[in-house]
Structure 1
Amino acid sequence: MLLASFAILIGLPVLLWSASKFVGGAAAVANHFGVSPLLIGMLIIGFGTSAPEIIVSIFAAIQGNSGIALGNAYGSNIANIMLILGLTALISPIAVRSEIIKKELPVLLGITFFAAWQLLDQQVSKDDAFSLLGLFVLLISWSIWHGMQGSKDALADEYSEELNTTEGTVKTHVIWLIAGLLLLVASSRMLVWGAVEVAGFFGVSDTIIGLTVIAIGTSLPELASSLIAVKKGEHDLALGNVIGSNMFNTLAVVGIAGTIQPMAVSADFLYRDVIVMLAATVALFVFCIGIKRQGRLNRLEGGVLVAAYTGYTYWLITAAFI
């Protein structure tokens, strides 16, 4: 138990640090070779902030821990919206100016409902997984098309400002990219092993561990990037990071894990956690789409999201020990 706890305490910060180095290195290398800031932001940064979830879920699926794989992906989606955007909006209300963000919100909503519909038979089959990955390819193609248009947008401007602050040589960035990826793999294996051992010790399901400790931990990059972005006045970047991460989690993380090994879905997970994820996504859409007004997430709405997440976490912890 002591060794497993140590694995979580060491594995999680190393996972987050290595993800940051991996993303920074990849974005800087792409920027050096003239890739558009919008394309870098929507693909490399969007993928990179979900890198912890992807690697953790891959190793969880390989080891047969489907609860961690699914709990990590969908738990991160819930935490991203309710906890991270909620806390960010409490600190500084988030205004939605980007037309790309307004187009991505309905796409995220549709993807979330599709993923929930797939789980009605209480499993993620290989056919389900391949259909998620097919949608992921379409999403990537759409992102590349947008990124190559070169059109001006608030989100593109904010990505450009972030990339212009990057320092260092290409060689340095390549080294950090490779080192970050290797450390991502090593720390993910350590984290999954520790989480499974702790879950077994306390007699709780690995799904609960995935939904709480691992989901919140792997969502910390989104929290850090959102708080920094809002502090700089880059509201669309804060929201875009979360939307992109949730799309990647739903399509790529679950899709890749499902192709490795089909995953069973418990009734509790379907009728509790999936419904909470749907409700959080619908709430985000309603708050930010801006019908007859500018889209925004104000302090009151942020407070509601954080309060709801607190109640949801209490529900999980109570259910785990009853």
Structure 2
Amino acid sequence: MITLLLPALAIIIGFALLIWSADKFVLGASNTARSFSISPLIVGVVIVGLGTSAPEMLVSAIAAAQGNTGLSIGNAIGSNITNIGLMLGVTAIFYPLHIHSKLLKREMPLLLALLIFSLFLLWDQRLGFLDGLILLTMMAAMLVFTVWEAKSHNTDSLPQEILDELPEEVSKRDALKWLIIGIVLLIASSRLLVWGAVDVATYFGVSDLIIGLTIVAIGTSLPELAATIAAARKKEFDLAVGNIIGSNIFNILGVMALPGLIHPDNFDSEVLTRDYPVMIALTVLLMLFSTSWRKGKTAVLGRINGVILLTAYIAYMVWLFIDMSA
């Protein structure tokens, strides 16, 4: 029991520090960017977007550097599944989401296309350096495209909601302080979390892939849950869904790229036969639920849709438990 206690504490403390430091990193980075007269929209889309995905990216990078590629891949895929099934499912149950943004309706098919493309890259059951480089290059292109598209649609509700949610302004000195503290603690907490997660996997005799898909994915997705619920409570429904779509794009391009660049390796076949199909199926469900089938009507991601997404997520967790037990 004592053997398990330390890794469990490491995971809990690691998650807490990871979430807090990611928030401080966003505060410091966004204000530092403002001091260089960078466009607020770029700050919102790029820096805040990357900041909320910083936990996934740091955890995956450190896990890959330590040779735990399965944990890295599991974190990327598991975070996407968790974001839609658990985070968006729970949010929709309590706050039905009315989707107006044309940008979102274009980004959802784009997310699906990126998932299918990444599946093609990984079809040989190996995440190589070239695969990682392609994914990272696509992420850079996506960031440029997202900023351009947001600027081109001045009448759309989503860009304004992004601007409304920028962190508060602080002095340059405080911005630099929080930026440094955020980076240092992000790295430290990620190392602590990965150590705890790997030890728990070893203790129970399960693969690091399973731990990445479950415990680590849920923990690193908590910033998205907080941001999504906060946006939904303010009736910024497009932003609530946009947080999830944006995070999933970052995960599949940025987070998935890191293990390929840092520690190219083969991975378990279940990634292609179990986890990727579930991730794609949940994305298709979200697209269907977010589409208005009546002309002139606003699409609503309602409570029933939320229950379906959450039920699908629970069923997937049961599937993982059965596979783990076998």
Band of TM-score, shorter chain = over 0.9
Q: 1:32: Cα distance to partner?
A: 4.9
Contact 2:228 2:243 in 1 (8 A): yes
Any idea what SS the aligned residue of 1:257 has? helix
CA contact (8 A) 1:132 1:255 kept: yes
After TM superposition, where is structure 1 displaced by more than 6 Å over at least 4 residues in a row?
none
Correspondence 1:105-184 to 2 at 5 A:
105-149=108-152, 151-163=154-166, 166-184=168-186
Amino acid at match of 2:148: W
The offset of 1:25, in angstroms, is 2.1
The aligned runs of 1:77-116 (5 Å cut-off) are: 77-116=80-119
Please state if 1:74 is matched with 2:82: no
Deviation at 1:34, TM superposition (A): 4.1
Partner of 1:40: 43
Query: Relative to structure 1, is the Cα distance of residues 56 and 202 closer, same or farther in structure 2, using a 3 angstrom cutoff?
Result: same
1:155 Cα shift? 1.1
Q: Which amino acid aligns with 2:182?
A: G
Matches for 1:46-61 after TM superposition, within 5 Å: 46-61=49-64
TM-score by length of 2: 0.94
Alpha-carbon distance in structure 2 between the residues aligned to 1:265 and 1:274: 13
Paired position in structure 1 for 2:273: 271
User: Does the 8 Å CA contact 1:76/1:218 hold for their aligned counterparts?
Assistant: yes
Unmatched 5+ stretches in structure 1: none
- Return the offset for 1:136: 1.2
1:212-223 pair list within 5 angstroms: 212-223=214-225
SS in structure 2 of the partner of residue 152 of structure 1: coil
- Cα deviation, 1:124-160, whole Å, max 9, x if unaligned, reads 1222111111211211221232355472321121122
Letter in 2 for 1:104: E
Q: Distance in 1 between matches of 2:149 and 2:125?
A: 36
Helix, strand or coil: the match of 1:120?
Answer: coil
Counterpart CA distance in 2 for 1:13 and 1:225 is 16
- Give the letter for the 1:17 counterpart: W
TM-score by length of 1: 0.95
Aligned match of 1:290: 292
Structure 1 stretch displaced more, 138-147 or 245-254: 138-147
Q: How far did residue 23 of structure 1 move?
A: 1.2
1:320–1:87 CA distance, 2 compared to 1 (3 A): same
Give, in whole Å, the separation in 2 of the partners of 1:263 and 1:305.
32
2:320 aligned with 1:316: yes
Unaligned segments of structure 2, at least 5 residues: none
Further displaced range: 312-321 or 223-232: 312-321
Residue of structure 2 equivalent to 1:235: 237
Deviation at 1:309, TM superposition (A): 0.6
1:191 counterpart letter in structure 2: L
Match of 2:32 in 1: 29
SS in 1 for 2:300: strand
Look up the equivalent residue of 1:316 and give its one-letter code.
L
Q: Matched residues in 2 for 1:84 and 1:28: separation?
A: 28
Give the Cα–Cα distance (whole angstroms) in 2 for the partners of residues 158 and 31 of structure 1. Answer: 18
Deviations 1:291-321 (A, max 9, x none): 5442331110011000111111121122112
Tell me the secondary structure at the aligned position of residue 121 of structure 1: coil
Q: How many residues align?
A: 321
Structure 2: distance between partners of 1:92 and 1:34: 36
Question: In 2, are the aligned partners of 1:36 and 1:147 still within 8 Å (CA)?
Answer: no
Residue in structure 2 matched with residue 62 of structure 1 by the alignment: 65
1:305 paired to 2:309: yes
Between 1:173-182 and 1:37-46, the stretch displaced more is: 37-46
Change beyond 3 A, Cα 1:150–1:95: closer
Query: Does the aligned pair in 1 maintain the 2:41–2:147 contact within 8 Å?
Result: no
Deviation per residue, 1:99-125 (Å, 9 max, x gap): 221221111111011112222211112
